[in-house]
Amino acid sequence: MVVIIVEGESDREFLEDFTRTLNIPREKIEFKVFEGKDNIFKRDHPFYDEIENELEIINGLLITTDADDPKDPPPIRGYDATQKALETLIDDLDFGIPIDYYIFCDTERKGYLESFLLSVLDDSQRQCVEDFKSCYQYDLTDKLVFNTFYKQKQHPFDYEHPNFNALKTKLNNLFEGTLS
């Protein structure tokens, strides 16, 4: 079994869909929904105790989180700060199992899961979103764009897009040898 740590329910839902496309059986995954990015970095969070108590049946751990925007209020915002905090957290956990992380962001290393998903749109879809954002009088974040235009579709994204390759590799590496 591999434990996948996520910020919230939308992250879990996406990763359930995504792992299904990789033919990873749901019973080989345990999701821990931490209810927010900041909670993932709290070493005393009760989920870490649960994981530690189940290490004999856990083959690996994947921690996922958003990069956010470095201009957002601290404590840990922006890709570089998030990466550094994840590396420190992994060292502190010292679980003795393979642990990896994935930071959701756009191609400029900013944003959220939604930014990551919008980064795989084809040129015409991306242009449509940009055109709408430019004429809309209010600021639309990637989360609002995603929730407005794409969330209602069952599978709007091409999981063969190259932007998914790093996540596929991390998941395949963690599940290697557990799928037989």
More confident residue, 117 or 47: 47
pLDDT at position 80, please?
Answer: 94
pLDDT (average), residues 144-155? 66
Name the pLDDT band for 158 (thresholds 50, 70, 90).
confident
Q: Where are the alpha helices (DSSP H) in 22-122?
A: 37-40, 46-53, 79-93, 113-118
pLDDT at position 4, please?
Answer: 98
Q: What is the mean pLDDT of the chain?
A: 90
Per-residue pLDDT at 46 exceeds 60: yes
pLDDT at position 72, please?
Answer: 80
Whole-angstrom Cα distance, residue 111 to residue 94? 29
SS3 state of residue 152: coil
Whether residue 86 contacts residue 103, with contact meaning beta carbons closer than 8 Å, is answered with yes
pLDDT at position 156, please?
Answer: 63
Dihedral of CA atoms 45, 46, 51, 53 in degrees, nearest 10, equals 130
Rounded to the nearest 5°, which phi and psi values hold at 159? -70, -5
Dihedral of CA atoms 160, 165, 168, 172 in degrees, nearest 10, equals 120
Token reading at 8 = 């919230």
Cα–Cα distance list, 59 to 152, 165, 179 (Å): 34, 22, 11
pLDDT digits (tens, 9 = 90+) for 87-137: 999 999 999 999 999 999 999 999 999 889 888 888 888 888 888 888 887
12-16, 35-39, 146-150, 157-161: least confidently modelled range = 146-150
Name the pLDDT band for 63 (thresholds 50, 70, 90).
very high
CA torsion through residues 99, 2, 120, 125, sign? negative
Q: DSSP character for 25?
A: -
SS3 state of residue 66: strand
Domains of the chain, first to last = 2-119+159-175 (3.40.50)
